[in-house]
A and B are shown apart, each in its own frame.
Chain A
Amino acid sequence: KAGVTQTPRYLIKTRGQQVTLSCSPISGHRSVSWYQQTPGQGLQFLFEYFSETQRNKGNFPGRFSGRQFSNSRSEMNVSTLELGDSALYLCASSFRGRDEQYFGPGTRLTVT
């Protein structure tokens, strides 16, 4: 079974731009969660989607948004990028949402 894939793997953007990250979950998994990982803040929950519905959202500004498609693939968007948005963005898929999560390799975003 193929693992979770994320594209792109690396991204360099400038302040004020926007970015879209993509995540393809493991086949059959309907829950996709997004996390931001930084050295200072650790792993922080962004949001979780199940069957195209956002069930939970973390404490991030409205510049961070996401969506899930009918095939369970998910995208997250960050608008008006700030330097502090530089981080590793990880998505994780699970079957239902409260079972084991399988993480993708992440997208390393650098904002200059």
Chain B
Amino acid sequence: GQQVMQIPQYQHVQEGEDFTTYCNSSTTLSNIQWYKQRPGGHPVFLIQLVKSGEVKKQKRLTFQFGEAKKNSSLHITATQTTDVGTYFCAGPSSGTYKYIFGTGTRLKVLA
């Protein structure tokens, strides 16, 4: 079945450093979504990418969807302590409404 992997699994950074998490799907995705889950919280929607090669920015966050629509990345510039949490990507299994979530990247920011 479809698998969505994320690397790295964990990342510790000093406040002010940049951070990137990568998402790779075993199959082509019609779209990809990114979520952030704070410790003890629930996933919160960040963005959805649909087009091949699409790049979207939200303040310090930059999201990219690969040309083959099988991979994506999230880059955070100059991390802050408020960026702490687990970042998940998610994509729909082909032709379905079943979203497969990535394994997640847990980010810790050291002040």
A102 touches B45 (CB 8 A): yes
- Interface residues of B toward A: which range? 20 to 34
B99 CB within 8 Å of chain A: yes
Is A104 located at the chain interface by the 8 A CB criterion?
A: yes
A98-B42 in contact (CB<8A) = no
Contact code string A86-104 (vs B, CB < 8 Å = 1, else 0): 0000101000011111111
Q: Please determine whether A42 and B44 come into contact, CB atoms closer than 8 angstroms.
A: no
- Residue in chain A with minimal CB distance to B88: A43
Chain B residues with CB under 8 A of A100: 33, 45, 48
Q: Chain B binding site: helix, strand, loop or mixed by DSSP?
A: loop
Contacts of B42 in A (CB 8 A): 90, 103-106
Q: A106: nearest residue on chain B (CB-CB)?
A: B42
8 A-B pairs in the complex with CB atoms less than 8 angstroms apart: A42-B104, A43-B101, A44-B101, A45-B100, A56-B96, A56-B97, A90-B43, A104-B42
User: Are A48 and B98 touching (Cβ within 8 A)?
Assistant: yes
Q: How many A-B residue pairs have CB under 8 A?
A: 56
Residues of B within 8 A of A104 (CB): 42
Check A97/B43 contact, CB under 8 A, given A42-B104, A43-B88.
no
**Extra contacts besides A35-B101, A103-B42 (15): CB < 8 Å:** A33-B97, A42-B103, A43-B88, A44-B101, A45-B98, A45-B99, A55-B97, A56-B93, A56-B98, A57-B98, A92-B43, A98-B97, A101-B99, A103-B35, A103-B45
Give bound CA distance, A4 to B41, whole Å: 13
Complex Cα distance A92/B99, Å?
A: 11
B92 within 8 A of A: yes
The A47-106 residues at the B interface (CB cut-off 8 A) are: 48, 50, 55-59, 90, 92, 97-106
Q: In the assembly, what is the distance between CA of A102 and CA of B99, in Å?
A: 13
- Measured in the bound complex, the distance between the Cα atoms of B45 and A43 in whole Å is 14
